[in-house]
């Protein structure tokens, strides 16, 4: 069974919006795009390269896909695997792309992702894709979170765990802290809690 692995840059107050650049996602008036740049160092770079060099397919939201679509085909020397990986894209408006191999998913995304997980193949890596991630979390489809937690608060913006998050427990599989204070941590899902158990706690 394939695992869904969510990889996110996240602030201390839970924001995952527009970590990479000022124009990445300004929706909702978000003006702090590119906030991870203050904390780059060799340890974080080594971790990112290790994830980029693993076998994977991609599971992306449409907006993230459209940010990557014109960029990565021109930068195969940096991340060759992103071009050869199958890119599963959640979208109700797109049906095709010249960036191949790509498969577009519409309708009941949770049901379709659950079926893809049962197929043979590499794990499914989710980068960014905040709206898609909410759907995956709500339906218990995330097996692992690789979080890069930055020592910064942003006050507002799209958050990783929003309304509708189901109660779950996790165990720490790996962790380290970079020289610039970024906590890199691998949370593997341990269990989904029932509503009655949450009420008792």
pLDDT tens, 57-103? 999 999 999 999 999 999 999 999 999 999 999 999 999 999 999 99
What is the total count of domains within the chain? Answer: 1
Query: Where does residue 10 rank: exposed (0-12), middle (13-18), buried (19+ CB within 10 A)?
Result: buried
Is the pLDDT confidence value at 192 over 80?
no
| Residue 166 pLDDT level (bands cut at 50, 70, 90) | confident
Backbone angles phi, psi at 76, to 5 degrees: -60, -25
Rounded alpha-carbon distances, angstroms, from residue 125 to 6, 70, 159, 197? 6, 19, 18, 31
pTM listed for this prediction: 0.91
- 156: Cα separation from own chain's centroid: 19
* Rounded distance between C-alpha atoms, residue 46 and residue 127, angstroms: 17
pLDDT at 193: 67
The residue among 186, 134, 135 whose CA lies nearest residue 158 is 134
pLDDT at 117: 97
pLDDT at 196: 45
CATH number reported for the structural domain that contains residue 77 in this entry: 3.40.430.10
Q: List b or e across 85-120, with b for residues whose CB sees 16 or more CB atoms inside 10 angstroms.
A: bbbbbbbeebeebebeebebbeeebeeebeebbeee
Is the pLDDT confidence value at 200 over 60?
no
Provide mean pLDDT across the span 152-167.
92
* Rounded distance between C-alpha atoms, residue 129 and residue 19, angstroms: 12
Determine the structural domain holding residue 158 and report its residue range: 4-200
Residue scoring higher pLDDT (165 or 48): 48
- The maximal CA–CA distance of the chain, rounded, in angstroms, is 54
* Rounded distance between C-alpha atoms, residue 61 and residue 46, angstroms: 26
The overall average pLDDT reported for the chain is 93
In the chain, count of helices (H) and strands (E)?
A: 6, 8
Specify the DSSP class assigned to residue 23: T
């Amino acid at each position: 069974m394939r695992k869904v692995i969510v990889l996110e840059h996240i602030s201390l107050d839970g924001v995952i919006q527009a970590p990479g650049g000022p124009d990445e996602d300004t929706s909702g008036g978000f003006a702090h795009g590119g906030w991870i740049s203050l904390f780059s160092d060799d340890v974080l770079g080594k971790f990112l390269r290790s994830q980029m060099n693993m076998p994977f397919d991609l599971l992306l939201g449409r907006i993230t896909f459209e940010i990557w679509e014109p960029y990565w085909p021109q930068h195969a020397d940096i991340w060759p695997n992103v071009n050869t990986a199958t890119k599963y894209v959640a979208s109700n408006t797109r049906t095709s792309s010249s960036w191949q191999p790509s498969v577009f998913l519409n309708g009941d995304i949770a049901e379709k992702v659950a079926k893809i997980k049962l197929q043979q193949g590499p794990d499914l890596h989710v980068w960014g894709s905040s709206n898609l991630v909410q759907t995956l979390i709500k339906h218990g489809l995330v097996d692992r979170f690789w979080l890069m937690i930055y020592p910064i608060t942003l006050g507002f913006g799209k958050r990783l765990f929003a309304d509708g998050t189901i109660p779950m427990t996790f165990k720490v599989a790996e962790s380290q802290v970079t020289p610039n204070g970024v906590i890199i941590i691998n949370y593997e899902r341990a269990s989904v809690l029932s509503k009655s158990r949450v009420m008792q706690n």
